Chains A and B, each alone.
Chain A
Amino acid sequence: MSTLLEIIYQGVLEGDQSEVGAGVQNALETNHSPSEILDNALVPAMSEVGSLFEEGEYFVPEMLISARAMQAGMAILKPLLVEGGVEMLGKVVIGTVQGDLHDIGKNLVTMMLEGAGFEVIDLGVDVAPEKFVEAIKDHNPDILCMSALLTTTMASIPVIIEAIEQAGLRTHVKILIGGAPVTQDYADQVGADGFAQDASRAARLATTTLDK
């Protein structure tokens, strides 16, 4: 990794948004391509942040601060990536299911997905089944992510999957689920394509899911 990319990488790890912003500018001025900066500095840095979180070195605030730093870099890169016709890794629609207001986990998953190079459309909290169906029609995502933190709201996941099936869209998207009461067994039982217990694993899972 060049020194400039190293600075960006470190800036994300330390959550220093101005360092990342300045680093990205510098890198662009010294002929690093936007996708090189994304793939070789920002994405690996967020992946390292995720590993540190999994290992218990980083906590949610440290992740949020790192994600903000990464976004400072992305804000500069995004228009250039779009201009250059660079495709994002994939498209994800995410939301917390109906009746459920818990959003911290969903927001963190969103940030890690963005950090892994996904375009993410966030439907917010308390999302009705028909909203998920509409969003699949409108955005044609590769992956649908649902977050549920309550036992009762978790029970609406199979309802939503059923609604997606009814709309004839089930084969169009992979479905990943997570949240406090959700387990791998539950994901298998309701016919989701995957489950992850934290945001970092969620981003990895999304990436491997695309390959399937």
Chain B
Amino acid sequence: MDFQPDYNHILAVMENKRPKRLPLYEHKISPLVMEEIQGESFAELEQGDDSDLDEFFRQYSRFYKEMTYDTVSFEVTLTRSLPGHGAIYGGMEGPIQNREDFEKYPWDELEERYYAVADRKFAALCKSLPEGMKAFGGIGNGVFEISEDLVGFEKMAYMMADDPELFAELFARIGDLFVALWERFLKNYSEHFAVCRFGDDLGFKTSTLVSPKTIRQHIIPQYARIISRIKKAGKPFIWHSCGKIFTVMDDVIALGIDGKHSNEDTIASFDEWITRYGEKIALLGGIDVDILCQNTPESIFDLVVEKATQYRGMANGYALGSGNSIPEYVPAEGYLAMVKAAQHIRQQEASV
């Protein structure tokens, strides 16, 4: 099939307009799923030297092109560069438990630590982008997730009660770090990125993980600092956040975000997201990860054709993809059925 990628379709989505053809979008695709589909193993090259990295991204970007995306999603997560990282996964304490830990944490080294890893990857990615494509992403993780990694979710709840001043300073310090990281990112890579994004899971099945009041007081102001930098650099911004976060959506929309990603059917149907916010921002995704895991490729295809046609009709800016990501446990055939459904919709529209 003769597919010409064009990131302008995604830019149209970000302007909350209906692009000429239905674009695909994915937050993350496990390289293991890519390997299975491409029939070539390359995932491990991401850990290798510069020429390995070049080869990794050649395969990585080629995959997005072959699957008929207009942009290549990529981020380098911050958590991995944090000394003492791991509390976000649970089962351990983070490196900051009290003021002394906070004071002696090597905050000033974090930017360099991050870019020591990230620069090589971003540079290799930028080189690999096929004609007509740009990258979509940036610095992985958001303010809340970093606090979960530095302190630990449960310990953070205790810190909030026991030392509210430290709790407040922690968020401000994380905000400073992100501002520095994003400024450098925008300076060096914005030309190659069509859209910037960060992911910060604020919710779960029944509500936000911390109260809306805490989010407004400590998290939103830091988002504002980051998002204003991104917008000043002329880049659209999309926010990825899981869970039932309706109570803070208006606050985040007020920061000038252009789009939102992540949805789960057990929380709300995707049409509810469109009905609530479709006038104001673009909405990406729509297909619950469960659907891709639990159905036959045939029924996924039919279901996605039906749902994506509906979403494209309802929303202004919409791009089709999973509600979260394609982790390694999503069957390759299930994922491919979704991609084929997108292509089918495009063909149908083109033939009318």
Contact = CB atoms under 8 A, between A and B. Distances in A.
Interface of A: 15, 56, 59-62, 64-65, 68, 101-105, 107, 124-125, 150-152, 180-181, 183, 197-198
Nearest to B247: A56
Given A59-B208, A60-B157, A103 B266 contact: no
B153 A104 contact: yes
Chain B interface size range: 20 to 34
A61 B207 CA distance: 12
A107 B91 CA distance: 10
Given A104-B153, A107-B154, 20 more contacts: A56-B207, A59-B211, A60-B153, A60-B210, A61-B214, A64-B157, A64-B158, A65-B161, A101-B91, A102-B90, A103-B90, A104-B90, A104-B154, A125-B90, A151-B294, A152-B293, A180-B204, A180-B205, A183-B266, A198-B205
Contacts of B300: none
A197 B205 contact: yes
A181 B210 contact: no
A107 B90 CA distance: 10
Nearest to A106: B90
Interface string B283-294: 000000110011
B89 interface: yes
Given A61-B214, A62-B211, A180-B264, A68 B158 contact: yes
17 contacts: A59-B211, A60-B153, A60-B204, A60-B209, A61-B156, A62-B157, A64-B154, A65-B157, A101-B89, A104-B209, A125-B91, A151-B293, A151-B294, A152-B293, A152-B329, A180-B264, A181-B264
Contacts of A61: 156-157, 160-161, 210-211, 214
Contacts of B156: 61
A183 B265 CA distance: 11
Interface in B171-218: 204-211, 214
A15 B161 contact: yes
Interface class of chain A by DSSP:
loop
A102 B158 CA distance: 20
Q: Closest 4 CB pairs between A and B?
A: A61-B157, A103-B90, A64-B157, A152-B329
A187 to B, nearest CB: 13
Given A61-B214, A62-B211, A68-B158, A198 B153 contact: no
A181 B329 contact: no
Contacts, number: 67
Interface in B102-126: none
A116 B351 CA distance: 63
Given A151-B294, A180-B266, A59 B207 contact: yes
Contacts of B293: 151-152
Nearest to B292: A151
Contacts of B204: 60, 104-105, 180
Contacts of B205: 180, 197-198
Contacts of A181: 264, 266, 290
B91 A151 contact: no
Interface string B143-183: 00000000001101110110000000000000000000000
Contacts of B154: 64, 104, 107
Contacts of A197: 205-206
B290 A65 contact: no
A151 B205 CA distance: 14
Interface in B224-277: 264, 266
Contacts of A183: 266
Contacts of B264: 180-181
Nearest to B242: A180
Tell me which of A15, A59, A107, A124 has the highest count of chain B C-beta atoms within 10 A of its own C-beta.
Answer: A59
Interface string B314-347: 0000000000000101000000000000000000
A112 to B, nearest CB: 14
Given A151-B293, A183-B266, A59 B209 contact: yes
A101 B87 CA distance: 12
Contacts of A59: 207-211, 214
A101 B204 CA distance: 15
Contacts of A64: 154, 157-158
Contacts of A107: 154
Nearest to A16: B161
Contacts of B289: 151
Nearest to B328: A152
A150 B242 CA distance: 13
Nearest to A182: B266
Nearest to A153: B329
